[in-house]
Structure 1
Amino acid sequence: MPKNIISIQSQVATGYVGNNIAGFAIQLHGIDLTLLPTVFLSAHTGHPVIFGEAISPALLSDLVKGIGAINIPADAAYLISGFCNLPENIDIIAHTALQYPHLKFVYDPVFGDFHCGGLYFEEEIATYSVNKLLPHAHILTPNHWELEFILKKQFNTIDELKTAVRNHDLLKDKTLILTSANLADTSPDGIEVILIEGDEVTRFNGPKIPLETTGTGDLFTAIITSQLTLNKSLNDAIRIAMNFINHTLAYVQSVNGKELSAAALMKHLHLLK
């Protein structure tokens, strides 16, 4: 069994987003992680004041060279990418995917959402990310807003979604996990995840916890990838991730919390088995 997962995404000094939450979730599965940061910030961007900056391409490139020099990628089966707001670093992620073709590339776009009013950064960078990384991806985990951005069209029904994906030159051949579907028939009291593999579409539903917090998408992708590393089926991985996140958010809400926490994740460790 592979010993680690390589994760290239954001890192913060405090909080649970990007590699902070992904790394913790991966380790809770008993899997080691290889953590490469794209940015290093004082806290996540939902806070009114943050400091920090993007990692320099020279440093990120050196980190990739360094893990290669000690043969770390040989013990991995999956590469995750998340938030990245610098074109040069996007290039490095693409090069890493090409350099290690045995790694299955899980592309989590992380460049926008409905609740924040759209893009987290310039449209040109989001477009660059799609153009550079989507061709190499095996699995995508976009939210509803991000998938509409990739498709360059809105969709409100499952048939519209299926048609749009089928007609997209790149997406039609990918495993697509829509992490927060908001279709006309999606229950307002529920959360829906949609898996599309070729012509096969599977819809997963769970209760919605009325808590707006940052990092759940990063957590979802990390759990999915960890479960696949442990040889679970994709359907089972999605169900486990949804159930774990639901219970974790319910706990955060029950203690009047606003953010994900170590206590919330540890309390539900048994649900990852």
Structure 2
Amino acid sequence: MCEAGRLLTIQSHVATGYVGNRSATFPAQLLGWDVDAVNTVQFSNHTGYGRWGGQRFDERHLTDVFDGLARNGLLTQNRVVTGYTPSPEALSAVERLVTQLRATNPALVYLLDPVMGDMDRGMYVNPNVLPIYRRMLHLSTIICPNQFEAQLLAGQEITSLASLRAVQEKLHVEYRVPHVVITSLTLPADDLARLGASATMPDGQEAMVLVGSTWDGGLRSWFLQFPCLGEYYSGVGDLFAALVLARFATRLEDLPEPARAAHVHEPAESKDECTLPIARAVMLAVAALQHVLTRTRASMVEQGARLQLDPFRPVTQLDAEERIKVMRLRELRIVQSASEILRPSVLYRPQWARS
């Protein structure tokens, strides 16, 4: 039996800082969800610090946790998000669990974040997770890959608007994913213009372009453009995925009241604005995330000045002790951003793709 308002998050955990479950749990709770968390790793801090303690959990450990939940009748969540999982064997345990949950509750809302790598670093997990992620796609309601991960899943590079459409259609049609959100995308300027987007904001600041799509017998594609702050912050993708899942609903009455409120107070502003439920959830997630990053950046500047540290200096130029101090400054200010997570000011709105 399913319990409304319960959310299960399965991803990494750190004792201090904000990545994985630490990045996802509090925001989802703030938005009214009862959150249950299963850790795929338990580290002292995230690996960007350069040194850490703890361990990665194997298939046996995860299966034991899942079996304990099942024996006690505790697998009643109606929403699930999965993120970083350290090995193919551990991911197979997650796959079995989600398959079981989907069979028990066909209405399960499952967000799959296929954490495998990025355009800058390439693949940073065991490549044998890829076929498992492909097998899991049909179980999902929403997937949130970055461009690199979307390319891996579809087996095709995204180099143009045409290849973007081909990747979207393959994920929807062949892998049966209802909603695809490609969280970052780089395309030639002409293709961005045809989409309706640009590499820069109106003020000249570098832009990030997120592209989403829904399949309802045909491709319905949209995009969201917002400023790129330029720095890398750990845990951003985990926070984004949790916020999207916590805000997504085809019927607002399916959301807890705190998650519902911001939808009501943000009506569409123009006919070009995409109002699909997934686009609305992404819009509110990005708005909250922009506030978190702005607050984090301001805190970095303030604390960096106090400690006489440059928090924006590349980690490759830092010694081991400086790196740890700088990484500490770069931790997301999630708790301090609680009010903005609950009721974010929306500055950037999803638009229908022009072509």
Name the TM-score, length of structure 2 as normaliser. 0.70
User: Which secondary structure state, in structure 1, belongs to the residue aligned with residue 226 of structure 2?
Assistant: strand
Alignment of 1:50-199 (within 5 A): 50-74=52-76, 76-101=77-102, 102=105, 103-115=108-120, 117-125=121-129, 127-167=130-170, 170-171=174-175, 173-184=177-188, 185=192, 186-188=198-200, 189-198=206-215, 199=219
The alpha carbon displacement at 1:206 in A equals 1.4
User: Which secondary structure state, in structure 2, belongs to the residue aligned with residue 64 of structure 1?
Assistant: helix
Q: Measure the CA separation in 2 of the matches of 1:236 and 1:112.
A: 26
The alpha carbon displacement at 1:30 in A equals 1.8
Contact 1:209 1:246 in 2 (8 A): no
Are positions 1:240 and 2:292 aligned together? no
Contact 1:165 1:172 in 2 (8 A): no
Specify the code of the residue in structure 2 equivalent to 1:183.
Answer: L
* Cα distance change, pair 57–18 in 1 and its aligned pair in 2 (3 A): same
The alpha carbon displacement at 1:41 in A equals 1.5
Contact 1:195 1:202 in 2 (8 A): yes
Identity rate, percent: 23
**Aligned residue among 18, 25, 37 for 1:16:** 18
CA-to-aligned-CA distance 1:27-84 (integer Å, 9 cap, x gap): 111211110111111211222112222213222112212222333332x221111001
Query: Which residue does 1:47 correspond to in 2?
Result: 49
Specify the code of the residue in structure 1 equivalent to 2:209.
Answer: E
The alpha carbon displacement at 1:221 in A equals 0.5
Query: Which residue does 1:258 correspond to in 2?
Result: 330
Q: Measure the CA separation in 1 of the matches of 2:135 and 2:67.
A: 20
Contact 1:134 1:170 in 2 (8 A): no
The alpha carbon displacement at 1:173 in A equals 4.2
Query: Which residue does 1:249 correspond to in 2?
Result: 293
Q: Measure the CA separation in 1 of the matches of 2:247 and 2:67.
A: 27
Contact 1:41 1:53 in 2 (8 A): yes
Q: Measure the CA separation in 1 of the matches of 2:57 and 2:148.
A: 26
RMSD over aligned CA atoms reads 2.1
Query: Which residue does 1:215 correspond to in 2?
Result: 235
User: Which secondary structure state, in structure 1, belongs to the residue aligned with residue 9 of structure 2?
Assistant: strand
Contact 1:109 1:129 in 2 (8 A): no
Give the number of the structure whose residues are more often strand, by fraction. 1
User: Which of 149-158 and 215-224 deviates more?
Assistant: 149-158
Q: Measure the CA separation in 2 of the matches of 1:114 and 1:45.
A: 19
Query: Which residue does 2:316 correspond to in 1?
Result: none
User: Which of 163-172 and 88-97 deviates more?
Assistant: 163-172
Query: Which residue does 2:226 correspond to in 1?
Result: 206
Query: Which residue does 2:303 correspond to in 1?
Result: none
Q: Measure the CA separation in 1 of the matches of 2:224 and 2:21.
A: 26
Aligned residues: 270
Contact 2:75 2:101 in 1 (8 A): yes
Name the TM-score, length of structure 1 as normaliser. 0.90
Q: Measure the CA separation in 2 of the matches of 1:159 and 1:264.
A: 42
Question: If you compute each CA radius of gyration, which structure gives the higher value, 1 or 2?
Answer: 2
* Cα distance change, pair 234–131 in 1 and its aligned pair in 2 (3 A): closer
Q: Measure the CA separation in 2 of the matches of 1:212 and 1:187.
A: 18
The alpha carbon displacement at 1:17 in A equals 0.6
Specify the code of the residue in structure 1 equivalent to 2:96.
Answer: H
Contact 1:9 1:37 in 2 (8 A): yes
Contact 2:134 2:153 in 1 (8 A): no
Contact 1:13 1:41 in 2 (8 A): yes
CA-to-aligned-CA distance 1:101-124 (integer Å, 9 cap, x gap): 222221101110124x11222222
Task: List alignment gaps of at least 5 residues for structure 1.
Answer: none
User: Which of 228-237 and 41-50 deviates more?
Assistant: 228-237
Task: List alignment gaps of at least 5 residues for structure 2.
Answer: 193-197, 201-205, 249-253, 264-276, 301-328, 346-355
* Cα distance change, pair 263–136 in 1 and its aligned pair in 2 (3 A): closer
The alpha carbon displacement at 1:223 in A equals 0.3
